[in-house]
Amino acid sequence: MELKYLQLLSNEFPSITKASTEIINLSAITHLPKGTEHFLADIHGEAEAFTHVLRNGSGTIKKKVEEIFGQTLRDSDKRELCTLIYYPKEKLQLIKKSEENIKEWYIVTLNQLIKVLQTVTMKYTRSKVRKSLPPDFEYIIQELLHESTVNPHKSAYINVIFESIISTGVADDFIIAICEAIPRLVIDRLHIVGDVYDRGDGAHIVMDTLMGYHDVDFQWGNHDILWMGAAVGNRACMANVIRIALRYANLSTLEDGYGINLLPLASLAMEVYGNDPCELFKPRIVQEDKPYDDRSLDLLGRMQKAIAVIQFKLEQEIIARRPEFEMADRLLLHRIDFDEGTVTLHNGKKYALLDKNLPTVDPGDPYKLTPLEQDVVNKIAHSFTQSEKLIRHLEYLYAQGSIYLVANKNLLYHASIPLDKKGKFKKIKLRGKTYSGRSFMDKVDQLVRTAYFNKEDVELNRYAKDYMWYLWCGKDSPLFDKSVMTTFERYFIADKETHLEEKGYYFEYREKRETCEMILQEFGLDDPDAHIINGHVPVKAIKGEEPMRADGKLLVIDGGFSKAFHPTTGIAGYTLIFNSQGLQLVQHEPFTSAKEMIEKEDDIHSVTVIKEFISHRMLVKETDDGKKMADKIADLQQLLSAFRTGLIKSQD
């Protein structure tokens, strides 16, 4: 088997020379500083803010420009240069309207951009840099990167290149190419620790951006899994997705992004609730620029009420089919006394309903969809399962995503790993087998994939689809991990005690260093520099909460990208940056708009709130990729031996 493997390897490296060259190349790479990783979580559809953070490298590019030019450039010139790097096409249009000597500006700017590019490429091989450059200008940029202006002959050579770029009319394209390469090289690898979807109106734009990104992985969040469940055909997930979109008056992702037809739902809402103001269901308007008048908001409220009732009915089908989910306490429609206008919860207490108008709920068969509701559900289901763009994004989430990830001494997962009251891994039964800790997370990951890929085993596929809804709202879900999701109570009952969703034991014990070390060891990370990285629960910085917990072993990087959370957190998100020297947690202030950023050159204010240096500069050989390279070097050395002993013929 070893010889057969080496023969296969010789197809790629058919000679002593080629195998030796690859060993030399890989050995050299392993001794370079590791690339910079960026970690972001809980983007929640805030596409403009997310895109800007990628463009400015979470403030890194601004720091690089300051380090390079210091006092040699005015602050206004540095701001202009940064804005050009972030938004080259848009900024060039403005500059060309106001700049009197555009040729001189081109030469100065090209020199500045080459200096920035030289700085951000210093720790990469020429091969890696070349792959990051646009093919049309790759050769010229490489020449400029590796020539010095100190030598008078080389200086003249570079000036001729600049003159030619300008005279041939490609200066704008050349500048754009360099500006787009700089952010790409600043972030070597991007980690998304869950929740791209819901609340904001640009989740589909975020997904398009990620699909075009050079190196990214994704740990599914509870909101992502809800959309994934909807995309694979779970109708209760679809209803939840639509209800949340209506609650925040954000229909762009549904309608513009994925082409989900909400007209049947609107028709139902007007027919059933046309005379009902549906005050309790009015959207939570988060953004001031929402283009909705009072009449539109009334319609959204009626639609939200209609889909909420449909949701409760669809969820009953799953709960009845899966008693092992232990979610019978979520069945409340049959506990309504329509004569009294009250509902009796499973605690035995009776509460007055804030809204008693439920014309589609038959007291004799409360969970049965009316013919009109069934028609709406069928049409919505068709829209979700036939949306080509949604399926593309779903397949990307499967290809790049997972329930957790171990990467370069860090353990990434969105919310939790369920623990029991003693702080040990909770034992959870799935389809008759018991799992805990890592084995549980692996099983969850498998079930999520089964829901889409396993079409042959119909019953298993149906269970997996049901379980995706459970992952959204079930008490033992690692993406939810609360006692209950009180959607009905929040709509219909005034008593806020009934709204309580008690967090699982994980959120208590994760504050302890020994718990985090136990979790890290479970995933093979017994290292003093290892960390857990979570999102999910916004850090209320405005109230003095800290993102670093458990003596530095855990980092919570949900800083509230979503505008809905800005009043709660007091900030607008975090980026965790992990480079060869250690960790930095960067805190972002709210982002206004790209238009304002371009015109006023007023970047997001980002400050480093945590720095943690490692004992030595981390090299590629210490990373996961470096270990793979070491294995490949060992294999190639065996191939060399096989060449030299005649076991395999070298093609030299």
Q: pLDDT confidence of 130, banded at 50, 70, 90?
A: confident
pLDDT over 70, % of the chain: 98
| Four-CA torsion 410, 411, 414, 420, nearest 10 degrees | -140
Phi-psi group of 118: left, alpha or beta (phi > 0 → left; psi -120 to 50 → alpha; rest → beta): alpha
What is the C-alpha to C-alpha distance for residues 473 and 496, in angstroms, rounded to an integer? 19
Residue 154 has pLDDT above 80, yes or no: no
Average pLDDT over every residue of 253-276: 96
> Which pTM was predicted?
0.93
Q: Per the structure block, which two tokens stand in for 414?
A: 């969105």
- Could you tell me if 539 and 569 are in contact, meaning their C-beta atoms sit under 8 angstroms apart? yes
Average pLDDT over every residue of 523-540: 92
Nearest alpha-carbon partner for 46 in 247, 200, 227, 190: 200
Query: Residue 287's pLDDT is what?
Result: 58
Angle formed by the axes of helices 47-55 and 203-211, to 10°? Answer: 30
User: Tell me, what amino acid is at 424?
Assistant: K
Could you state, in order of their start, the residue ranges of all structural domains in the chain? 2-32+624-644, 54-188
Average pLDDT over every residue of 30-58: 93
Give the range among 42-46, 292-296, 448-452, 601-605 with minimum mean pLDDT: 601-605
Q: pLDDT confidence of 591, banded at 50, 70, 90?
A: confident
- Could you tell me if 587 and 607 are in contact, meaning their C-beta atoms sit under 8 angstroms apart? yes
pLDDT tens column, 455-495 = 999 999 999 999 999 999 999 999 999 999 999 999 999 99
CB neighbour list of residue 142: distance below 8 Å, 6 or more residues apart? 126, 129, 130, 133
Secondary-structure breakdown of the chain: helix, strand, coil percentages, each rounded to the nearest 5: 55, 10, 35
Q: pLDDT confidence of 143, banded at 50, 70, 90?
A: confident
- Could you tell me if 304 and 249 are in contact, meaning their C-beta atoms sit under 8 angstroms apart? no
Query: Residue 592's pLDDT is what?
Result: 79
Residue 625 has pLDDT above 90, yes or no: yes
Helices and strands per DSSP (H, E), number in the chain: 27, 17
Query: Residue 602's pLDDT is what?
Result: 77
Query: Residue 428's pLDDT is what?
Result: 97
Query: Residue 607's pLDDT is what?
Result: 80
pLDDT over 90, % of the chain: 77
What is the C-alpha to C-alpha distance for residues 260 and 245, in angstroms, rounded to an integer? 12
Residue 149 has pLDDT above 60, yes or no: no
> What DSSP string runs through 590-632?
PP--HHHHHHH-----EEEEEEEE-SSPPBGGGSHHHHHHHHH
pLDDT tens column, 327-354 = 999 999 999 999 999 999 999 999 999 9
pLDDT tens column, 421-464 = 999 999 999 999 999 999 999 999 999 999 999 999 999 999 99
Query: Residue 565's pLDDT is what?
Result: 79
Average pLDDT, the chain: 92
Query: Residue 599's pLDDT is what?
Result: 83
Residue identified by tokens 């490692």 is: 614
Q: pLDDT confidence of 289, banded at 50, 70, 90?
A: low
- Could you tell me if 45 and 563 are in contact, meaning their C-beta atoms sit under 8 angstroms apart? no
Nearest alpha-carbon partner for 500 in 519, 484, 481: 484
